[in-house]
């Protein structure tokens, strides 16, 4: 019966492999052989019981002394009782076997019905998803879309807030029909602005005071001092249905699902984290800002720029092995040194530290929480990002927004960034409120839009930020603010009168043939390039990732399974060593891994425990003494 059961299992069970199925069939075959042995024993008991009874009857007819006759009589009675009991057991076994065979057919029919219902449900879900996709395409091409969009934006077709919807409480960010922004921007001419600012305490000339912001995004890429690769092997054309794997994983933590490399890109999460530094020139520019709110504009543009590489990158990066590291030593080219280390495996957590010779440092510990919801996949980075400028002492802290991958079942996969980001300067109390607007078919807003307001420590707004997270960000200086007239629903927005916007950041164009190279940027193409002198735990040395990059996906899958099994074995050894050396009942407490380059400390600003760089890596690299590094590959 077990051979007919489905493979959904509970949260700890994985999809049945061919090895599991062969083992199951072997078990059933052994049980059948044991049943045959039991039948043989039944026949032997009956045969030898009858022979024993005959022998006793023959002894009864012999002339023997009285005392022996009594003993023989007692033995005969016991043999008769044994035969009666054996017959009763044999009859009970026969009845049980008949009953089991009868009900087995019923169970098989019931199980077959359940399997058919499950297949039917899967087909129905897939059909509904296809119909939903067709309706969306039809709506986009409908001639009356503008009128319908207006009706939606006015709330005529909206479901009242608070009613049940098809999404759960974790997906409030899909409500894209709320007011897109809490303010209205009105652009004025420079002459009018100067008149408007007359009489204010600190008149500011937009053309001179913001010279640091002028051309902040127009920094051309300097030719690299070290020649680096500009392409990788093309992505093989392997067809694999994502839904066929993900349908059994609804509601589960993505990091605990064994996924083939077919859904990966040949970079690890540590390398993806390092990609945030692609537009480091924004921070180099911010160092020279004497005005903290101007500096905040550049920091905000930098925080948004980290999402620009994700617009086409729907593939999953490799989960780093525990203790895996990645360094980016570009002190001469980019003026910085970056180090990442995987400090925890469950939950997956990475610590990151960057030092720039231009006068700033950045550090973070990011824990990735991801859930598959059936129709979409949500990825929530948890943890604070710290940025400090040494000269001014300005210390900025912010957290990342939520990423969502749509059309898991059917249609073209696409990614969206949603939620709010608050950037705080803990020295001056300046704040920047960024809002990532979720994409909606019914919205008239630009796709992937980001808006924001930069305010000083007293709450006065100074700049309005606008743009898209995949292309560019602009800032406009606020010269006057006033409340708007109440809308029909009683809500009131703030009207900001601003000067013409200035470009803060613009995305670099993708390399030629990027669509066949996982849509990697110029920086991403170089991250997995082999370098001499790196630690033996560096992501560049990971064999399954390297095999995938070369296009050998079957070998990469085999190597990935070997590495995962090696990691599980290392964890078991740590648990066994701790159980022998200490009395710890909690398994999580026992499974403590001590990172090499980071240590856990209390963050004085967020009041959270986080891993921070403790030093020593670059000195160790200079000596090339890596004896303390674990053998993880």
Radius of gyration of the chain (CA): 35
The pLDDT score that the predictor gives to residue 22 is 63
Mean pLDDT score across all residues of the chain: 79
Instruction: Enumerate long-range contacts of 145-154, CB under 8 Å, 24 or more apart.
Output: 148/442, 149/442, 149/443, 149/444, 152/177, 152/442, 153/177, 153/442, 153/443, 153/444, 154/488
- pLDDT at 144 exceeding the cut of 60: no
pLDDT band at 525 (very low <50, low <70, confident <90, very high): very high
pLDDT band at 300 (very low <50, low <70, confident <90, very high): very high
pLDDT band at 139 (very low <50, low <70, confident <90, very high): confident
What is the token pair recorded at 533? Answer: 């002198």
How do residues 106-130 score in pLDDT, each as one tens digit?
777 888 888 888 777 877 777 777 7
Average pLDDT score over residue span 521-526: 96
Say if CB 442 and CB 171 are below 8 A apart.
no
d(CA 290, CA 287) in angstroms, rounded, equals 8
Measure the CA angle with vertex 424, ends 473 and 608; round to 5°.
125
Domains of the chain, residue spans: 229-422+528-577+588-623
The pLDDT score that the predictor gives to residue 482 is 80
Q: Work out the percent of the chain whose per-residue pLDDT is above 70.
A: 75
- Name which residue leads in pLDDT, 62 or 177: 62
Average pLDDT score over residue span 67-90: 79
The pLDDT score that the predictor gives to residue 194 is 44
Beta pairing partners, 599: 612
Closest CA to 1 of 74, 144, 106: 106
Q: Work out the percent of the chain whose per-residue pLDDT is above 90.
A: 44
d(CA 78, CA 578) in angstroms, rounded, equals 59
Q: What φ, ψ does residue 487 adopt, rounded to 5°?
A: -80, 180
- pLDDT at 177 exceeding the cut of 80: no
Average pLDDT score over residue span 472-501: 83
The pLDDT score that the predictor gives to residue 282 is 96
Burial (CB < 10 A; 0-12, 13-18, 19+), residue 494, is middle
The pLDDT score that the predictor gives to residue 346 is 81
Predicted TM-score (pTM) of the model is: 0.70
Supply the DSSP string of 30-88, one letter for each residue: HHHHHHHHHHHHHHHHHHHHHHHHHHHHHHHTS---HHHHHHHHHHHHHHHHHHHHHHH
pLDDT band at 487 (very low <50, low <70, confident <90, very high): low
Distance of CA 310 to the CA centre of its chain: 13
Average pLDDT score over residue span 338-345: 95
């Amino acid at each position: 019966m077990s051979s007919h059961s489905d493979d959904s299992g509970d949260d700890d069970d994985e999809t049945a492999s061919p090895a599991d199925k062969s083992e199951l069939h072997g078990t059933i075959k052994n049980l059948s052989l044991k049943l045959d042995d039991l039948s043989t024993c039944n026949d032997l008991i009956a045969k030898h019981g009858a022979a024993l009874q005959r022998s006793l009857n023959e002894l009864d007819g012999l002339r023997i002394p009285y005392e022996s006759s009594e003993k023989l009589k007692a033995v005969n009675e016991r043999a008769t009782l044994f035969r009666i009991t054996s017959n009763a057991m044999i009859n009970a076994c026969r009845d049980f076997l008949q009953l089991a065979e009868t009900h087995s057919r019923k169970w098989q029919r019931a199980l077959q019905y359940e399997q058919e219902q499950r297949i039917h449900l899967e087909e129905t879900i897939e059909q509904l998803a296809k119909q939903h996709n067709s309706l969306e395409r039809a709506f986009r091409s409908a001639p009356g879309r503008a009128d319908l969009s207006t009706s939606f934006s006015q709330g005529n077709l909206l479901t009242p807030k608070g009613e049940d919807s098809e999404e759960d409480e974790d997906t409030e960010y899909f409500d894209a029909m709320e007011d897109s922004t809490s303010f209205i921007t009105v652009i004025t001419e420079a002459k009018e602005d100067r008149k408007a600012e007359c009489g204010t305490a600190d008149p500011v000339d937009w053309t001179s005071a913001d010279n640091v912001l002028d051309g902040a995004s127009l920094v051309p890429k300097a030719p690299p001092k070290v020649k680096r690769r500009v392409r990788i092997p093309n992505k093989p054309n392997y067809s694999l249905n994502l839904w066929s794997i993900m349908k059994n994983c609804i509601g589960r933590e993505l990091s605990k699902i064994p996924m083939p490399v077919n859904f990966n890109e040949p970079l690890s999460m540590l390398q993806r984290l390092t990609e945030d530094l692609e537009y480091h020139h924004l921070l180099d520019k911010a160092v020279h800002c004497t005005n903290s709110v101007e500096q905040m504009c550049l920091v905000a543009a930098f925080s948004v720029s980290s999402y620009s590489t994700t617009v086409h990158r729907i593939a999953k990066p490799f989960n780093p092995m525990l203790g895996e590291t990645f360094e980016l030593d570009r002190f001469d080219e980019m003026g910085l040194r970056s180090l990442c280390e995987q400090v925890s495996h469950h939950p997956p957590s990475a610590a990151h530290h960057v030092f720039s010779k231009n006068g700033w440092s950045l550090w973070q510990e990011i824990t990735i929480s991801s859930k598959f919801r059936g129709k979409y996949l949500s990825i929530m980075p948890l943890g604070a990002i710290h940025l400090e400028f040494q000269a001014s002492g300005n210390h900025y802290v912010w957290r990342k927004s939520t990423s969502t991958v749509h059309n898991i079942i059917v249609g073209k996969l696409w990614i969206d960034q949603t939620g709010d980001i608050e950037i705080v300067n803990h020295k001056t109390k300046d704040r920047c409120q960024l809002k990532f607007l979720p994409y909606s078919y019914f919205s008239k807003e630009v796709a992937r839009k980001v808006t924001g307001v930069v305010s000083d420590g007293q709450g006065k707004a100074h700049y309005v930020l606008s743009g898209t997270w995949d292309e560019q960000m602009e800032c406009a200086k606020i010269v006057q603010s006033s409340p708007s007239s109440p809308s029909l629903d009683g809500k009131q927005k703030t009207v900001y009168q601003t000067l013409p916007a200035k470009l803060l950041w613009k995305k670099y164009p993708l390399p030629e043939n990027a669509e066949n190279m996982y849509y990697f940027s110029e920086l991403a193409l170089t991250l997995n390039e082999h370098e001499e002198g790196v630690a033996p735990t560096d992501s560049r040395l990971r064999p399954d990732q390297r095999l995938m990059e070369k296009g050998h996906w079957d070998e990469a899958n085999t190597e990935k399974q070997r590495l995962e099994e090696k990691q599980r074995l290392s964890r078991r050894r740590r648990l066994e060593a701790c159980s022998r050396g200490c009395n710890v009942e909690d398994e999580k407490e026992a499974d403590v891994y001590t990172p090499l380059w980071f240590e856990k400390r209390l963050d004085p600003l967020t009041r959270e425990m986080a891993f921070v760089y403790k030093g020593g890596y670059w000195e160790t690299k200079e000596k090339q003494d890596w004896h303390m590094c674990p053998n993880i590959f």
